[in-house]
Chain A
Amino acid sequence: MTTLDVDVTTTAGTFTVEARFTAGPGITALFGPSGAGKSVTLATVAGLLRPERGAIAIDGRTVADAAADLHVPTQERGLGMVFQHAALLPHRTPLDNVALAVRDATSRQARRQRSQDLLDQVGAGHLATSPTSALSGGEQQRVALARALAGDPTLLLLDEPFSALDQASRRALRDLVGRLVADRGMTAVLVTHDLADVEALASRTVVYEPGRTT
């Protein structure tokens, strides 16, 4: 059961965001209008941005602390992340995209088998060797979700993962995410500006107004 404690101020360009919340098992939604800084907070949790002030702890382990100049690299935070755009490697197959993120496999065969299992779990098993660039938005997001799960993360960060999808794909992927988080007992943080996502998935909601959380 992973706990995430966030109390940070992050500046990205001319934009400053304060955020303070705790997330436990289940899905915590960061909800608010576009431009409120939800994604900046998530990128700070991921370690893609450094906070200007404050600290972040995952399961009591401090991974970022501005005062102590502590910054654990993204790669060592043990988290998975799905972005608004799948951000897959276009020159690699879906299977390869997932395999790159599998960390503890003993052999190439084991790595590929595990990647195939993950693709099966997200309903993209049949796409394993298709050209990545030929996949639809929904299919790419499924592969991105499998990649995010490849490191067996206990903390899953979801940055508007459904917002670029059509209605049908959005509903299907939303159901899938809800099921996977519940089955795996993960702690997930979902950034969204869509109230339907919050209603369908969130066990806790942090509301963003431009510049601060409430």
Chain B
Amino acid sequence: MGDWFPLWLSLRVALAATAIAGTLGVALAYLLAKARFRGRGVIEAVVTLPIVLPPTVLGFYLLTNLGVGSPIGRAWEDAFGRPLVFTQTAAVIAASVSALPFVVRTVRAAIETVDPRVEAAARVAGLPEWRVAALVTLPMARRGVGAGMALGFARALGDFGATVMVAGNIPGQTQTLPVKVFDAVQAGDLAAARTGSLVLGAIAVVVLLAVTQLSGQRL
């Protein structure tokens, strides 16, 4: 594989998406684990949707909501002078949406296993709720937070369907490694497809080993 651009783009997109889905995902996981409010089930369903929707369908929804004809797309174009879709930013958004449910579900499960007695003790000790979250709950759930981030990263790195719909397949601009693999197979370049697949497979294995380590489980 002479062209390293797709790998670097994939890594950059996945890191940015992990930062976005990680921040949003931890906040949502905390809310879903702790708060009781109307509409909680709806939020939960919407957040989980990217797991069950075909990636191309997810991509289609993103395309219609971010495209030049949409309010968000128009606002973006007014602000930055160019469309949002078929850019690296669009790839980051697609990867973030794909990664979000993996972060939320993993982190939420970890938050729910934190001993409520320790949180109660912190409240009695005078800590306001945000400090209980920052100093007690999240640090005690840190392995789950780490595992959620790792899974989110792996999902973001491997996204194909949603990315290709909203960011396209522009070599040297928006072509991520999974898209490059597809492209190579279409073009009959099996050597390039094999190399790309090997790299993505190796990264996935490393990430899964990290998740296993963080979850305290053995394979």
Chain A contacts to B: CB under 8 angstroms: 43, 46, 48, 73-75, 79-81, 83, 85, 87-91, 100-101, 103, 144, 147-148, 150-151, 157
Contact = CB atoms under 8 A, between A and B. Distances in A.
A83 B117 contact: yes
B206 interface: no
A198 B125 CA distance: 26
B190 interface: no
Contacts of B128: 75
Grouping DSSP codes into helix (H, G, I), strand (E, B) and loop, the A interface class, with mixed when no group exceeds half, is: loop
A46, A75, A83, A103 — most chain B CB neighbours (10 Å): A75
Interface string B168-182: 000000000000000
Given A89-B136, A91-B139, 7 more contacts: A43-B120, A48-B124, A89-B135, A100-B125, A101-B126, A144-B121, A151-B126
30 contacts: A46-B124, A73-B123, A74-B120, A74-B123, A74-B124, A75-B123, A75-B124, A75-B127, A75-B128, A80-B124, A80-B125, A81-B121, A81-B124, A83-B117, A85-B117, A87-B118, A87-B120, A87-B121, A89-B118, A89-B122, A89-B136, A89-B140, A100-B122, A100-B135, A101-B125, A101-B127, A103-B126, A147-B125, A148-B124, A157-B124
A81 B120 CA distance: 10
A62 to B, nearest CB: 19
Instruction: For the complex of A and B, list the 8 residue pairs with the smallest distance between their C-beta atoms, beginning with the closest.
Output: A101-B125, A87-B121, A81-B124, A87-B117, A87-B118, A74-B123, A75-B126, A151-B126
Interface residues of B, number: 17
A85 B118 CA distance: 9
A104 to B, nearest CB: 10
Interface string B106-136: 0000000001011011111111100000011
A88 B118 CA distance: 6
Interface in B68-82: none
A87 B115 contact: yes
A97 to B, nearest CB: 9
A16 B118 CA distance: 24
B123 A48 contact: yes
A3 B204 CA distance: 62
Contact of A83 (B121, B126, B140, B142): B121
A148 B121 CA distance: 9
A214 B117 CA distance: 28
Nearest to B123: A74
A148 B125 contact: yes
Contacts of B121: 81, 83, 87-88, 144, 147
Contacts of A103: 126
Contact of B125 (A90, A91, A151): A151
Contacts of A147: 121, 125
A65 B115 CA distance: 28
A73 B126 CA distance: 10
A85 to B, nearest CB: 6
Contacts of B126: 75, 101, 103, 151
A90 B140 contact: yes
B124 to A, nearest CB: 4
A180 B127 CA distance: 24
A150 B122 CA distance: 12
Interface in B20-59: none
A110 to B, nearest CB: 16
A100 B118 contact: no
A210 B24 CA distance: 46
Interface string B131-168: 00001100110100000000000000000000000000
A89 to B, nearest CB: 6
A47 B18 CA distance: 38
A43 B124 CA distance: 10
A87 B128 CA distance: 17
A81 B123 CA distance: 10
A209 B140 CA distance: 37
